[in-house]
Structure 1
Amino acid sequence: MEPSQAEGHDATASASSSPEGMAKDIISAVAAAASTSFAVFLTGALAVQMRSTLHFGPDALGMSISIYYIGAAAGSVPFGRLTEAVGGVRIMKPTAVVAGGLLALIALFVHSWLGLSIVLFFSGIVSSAMQPATNLFLARRIPRSRQGFAFGVKQSAIPFAALFGGLAVPGIALTIGWRWAFVAAAAWSVVTAVAIPRSRTSLAAYRARHKDPVPKDDLAPLIVLGIGFGLGIFAAAAMTGFLVISAVDGGLSRSNAGYVAGIAGLIAVIARIYVGIAADRRGAGHFKVVAGMLVIGCIGYGALAIGSASRVAIFFWIGAFVAFGAGWGWNGLFNYAVIQTHQRSPARATAVTQVGGRLASVFGPLVFGLLVSNVSYSVAWMVNGLVALGGAAIIMYGRHMLLGPGKHIVVANP
């Protein structure tokens, strides 16, 4: 199959029967994915307030965020296999409940950096279950001609969590206290668990229908794509964890820094939805667009580096908007491209690539925190840009391995 065909879409899908049903399924996936993202993004956005209570610095913040992603990396492949075996809905409901419980633990019982880190580790494991579950849920229930839009909206759940975290600074943390932001997120998770639709088939019927593994000859390009994906996420994970605290260090007020993160998160939401809609119209070349967005995102990281060095506020605003919009707006498109080339087992295929993202997310905040503690925020932002640039190059190489001349990707009915 030619690259343009392999990165396109098939006409057949096990789809939602009406626009209303499709909308409900997409909203359920967004709400579920957000529920497992709140813990880490609230920690990053509220770090300025939390550190005075829990007593940690930038390097410890980076370590806490890395611990979250260690848990996420550990669970990605096992939960990808489990999700493929039992179906997305059967994973989504209990996972949202557990996510809510962990958020409540942070709100009510965490009084030290160690306690926060332990809860974040288990929150990462929960996230590793939710991501392949929501991917499979959409791949099975949304018409393939609308899956670009669906995955763009679904992946907007993650910057939505960052948006909520940023707005929680002036709206909650600076008024009634940071713990109440976690209470609100916990309530969201429990309501989401109740709202997630039931499975359409019995477990026995599901397992009889869906039992194709990821072909072995697809694993090498998936691993390479996962490395490129990981380098892009390396930069994004550090950015979401340190943007607010970096902006405060660069001279912005705490409330303005929160607004920067909140508006930047909204821009990332819009970018992910837009590139998903464009993917449905374009039908091909999705990995190329991902690489191009990463390159543009490097400009944003450069502006953040200038803002940190010069303490000129406008560079933080511009840098955050570009870095969030382009440098973090491509995740949904990447997952969509992987799923379109692996329709037999989308959960397991995306679980393989997600390992790269999760492992990179371990080291991104950790390296960024160490660079800040030992050098400067400006140097840390510049390193972020270089890493993202490397990710773009490796994604293009992985695309060549998967879709180059002589490659034949079979797009099967889900």
Structure 2
Amino acid sequence: MADFPVDTPPAVTSARPTRTVLGATIITIAGVLPVFLVGGLAVQLGAELHLTPARLGLAVAVYFGVSALGSVPSGALVERYGPRVVARGTLLLVAATMVAIAAVAHSYPVLLALLAVVAMANPLGQMASNAALAHQVPAGRQGLSFGIKQAAIPAGTLLAGAAVPAVALTVGWRWAFVLAAGLALATLPLVPAGRGPTAGSARKRSERTTGALLMLGLAGTLAAGAANALGTFLVSSAAGRGLSPALAGLVLTLGGAVCLVSRVLGGWLADRRTGGHLDTIAGMLVVGAVGLGLLHLASPVALVVGVVLAFGLGWAWPGLLNFAVVRLHPQAPTTATSITQTGVYAGGCTGPLGLGALADRFGYPTMWLVAAAAMLLAAGFMLVGRRMLPRPGTPLAR
């Protein structure tokens, strides 16, 4: 069944969509790189800043919690000032905060405070990227562009991992943050030109679809909370089953690579369909839930199959969700995606905290089953949200 469009698409304003996609991808990486760097450099940070696993979990939760709170305001800022201004501000915020961490983060509270500040770069970058892709990439290539942009997030983990041997183990972890700041400044010229819609055009959209967006955001909360457990707990869970840490790490790397490819492939396929994107996401979540359920088994085969299904489908949907929401609300894409993105960030904040506490009390096998149930419930909410959208020809759809 097709998704129900509620507006007419705006004219594409960019003659250089490739540069737009490149700029959006870089901005997205910049928004998530700070928290990935902290995670990747946790061992080096731990000795100096007493960064225990619990403190690391709190830092990640704060980062995504601030991202959730800042998502809707970020969307409003992009609607008012345009993606170019906000994207440049995002890169400058990342650069300034990375330098501050390198210079003054000599205690855990200071690090936590600076992470809370730079966390605003995450929703700002996401909303600016969404607006740029919606208004500067031709409709027939938007699915692929959103898939590439969201693939930047697992790519960010690869950059953070590469910073450990290349920088942290040679000249020290602080220089990794300095290098990140330099990269953010160096990419300023790649920010695509052009403005998105103004606040006036955002006010013209139908406000009566907010309920459907909130339902989709709730689905995103459950799905992201379950999927985030993969990157957080997969290695320790596999090691607890007797897998060597090195092999467990390789399984995680496999999952990340599958996720990256799946996000791009999913976007490419979306461009070849006229609708049904939310139904597709629901199906992906069902299969992803099966993968999470397999992780509670002790079999190495079940582990590999579960990782491929959970990463390849259960964590490959964010770009497709953004694409679907943009297609349904093309005159105000950032305002619409800011609502659903709030749910995704909320899941990134609360999921690992709740599931981690569950694993401490009942063990990883139980935790994976609960995560699978949450992802199944997310699929149900995704379908409910799709059915709440106005049908073509109704007053709400015009």
User: TM-score if structure 2 supplies the norm length?
Assistant: 0.88
Tell me by how many angstroms 1:183 deviates: 4.0
SS in 1 for 2:120: helix
Instruction: Output the amino acid matched with 1:14.
Output: V
Tell me by how many angstroms 1:262 deviates: 3.4
| TM-aligned CA distance change 1:166 to 1:378, over 3 Å | farther
Cα deviation, 1:172-217, whole Å, max 9, x if unaligned, reads: 556665555444433332222232133369xxxx649745344221
State which drifts further: 7-16 or 278-287. 7-16
Q: Which of 188, 211, 218 in structure 2 is aligned with 1:220? A: 211
| TM-aligned CA distance change 1:10 to 1:273, over 3 Å | farther
Instruction: Output the amino acid matched with 2:4.
Output: A
Look up the match of 2:287: 296
Give, in whole Å, the separation in 2 of the partners of 1:169 and 1:300. 30
Look up the match of 1:282: 273
SS in 1 for 2:330: coil
Cα deviation, 1:336-384, whole Å, max 9, x if unaligned, reads: 1111010111100111111212222221121123223333233322222
Cα deviation, 1:216-242, whole Å, max 9, x if unaligned, reads: 211111111110111111112333333
State which drifts further: 256-265 or 266-275. 256-265
Look up the match of 1:14: 12
Matched, 1:66 2:53: no
Look up the match of 1:321: 308
Q: Which of 258, 261, 267 in structure 2 is aligned with 1:267? A: 258
Look up the match of 2:183: 188
Matched, 1:353 2:351: no
Instruction: Output the amino acid matched with 1:272.
Output: R
- Matched residue pairs, number? 398
Instruction: Output the amino acid matched with 1:271.
Output: S
Give, in whole Å, the separation in 1 of the partners of 2:172 and 2:235. 17
Give the gaps of 5 or more residues in structure 2.
none
Structure 1 contact 152–333 (Cα < 8 Å) conserved: yes
Tell me by how many angstroms 1:404 deviates: 5.2
Structure 1 contact 45–169 (Cα < 8 Å) conserved: yes
Q: Which of 376, 379, 384 in structure 1 is aligned with 2:363? A: 376
State which drifts further: 386-395 or 173-182. 173-182
Instruction: Output the amino acid matched with 1:354.
Output: Q
Look up the match of 1:230: 221
Matched, 1:133 2:128: yes
Look up the match of 1:55: 50
Give, in whole Å, the separation in 2 of the partners of 1:114 and 1:298. 37
Structure 1 contact 92–130 (Cα < 8 Å) conserved: yes
Structure 2 contact 220–343 (Cα < 8 Å) conserved: yes
Give the gaps of 5 or more residues in structure 1.
none
Look up the match of 1:26: 21
Tell me by how many angstroms 1:154 deviates: 1.1
Look up the match of 1:146: 141
Look up the match of 2:232: 241
Give, in whole Å, the separation in 2 of the partners of 1:149 and 1:218. 25
Matched, 1:87 2:85: no
Tell me by how many angstroms 1:250 deviates: 4.8
| TM-aligned CA distance change 1:72 to 1:374, over 3 Å | same
Instruction: Output the amino acid matched with 1:332.
Output: G
Give, in whole Å, the separation in 1 of the partners of 2:366 and 2:60. 20
Give, in whole Å, the separation in 1 of the partners of 2:168 and 2:358. 27
State which drifts further: 163-172 or 126-135. 163-172
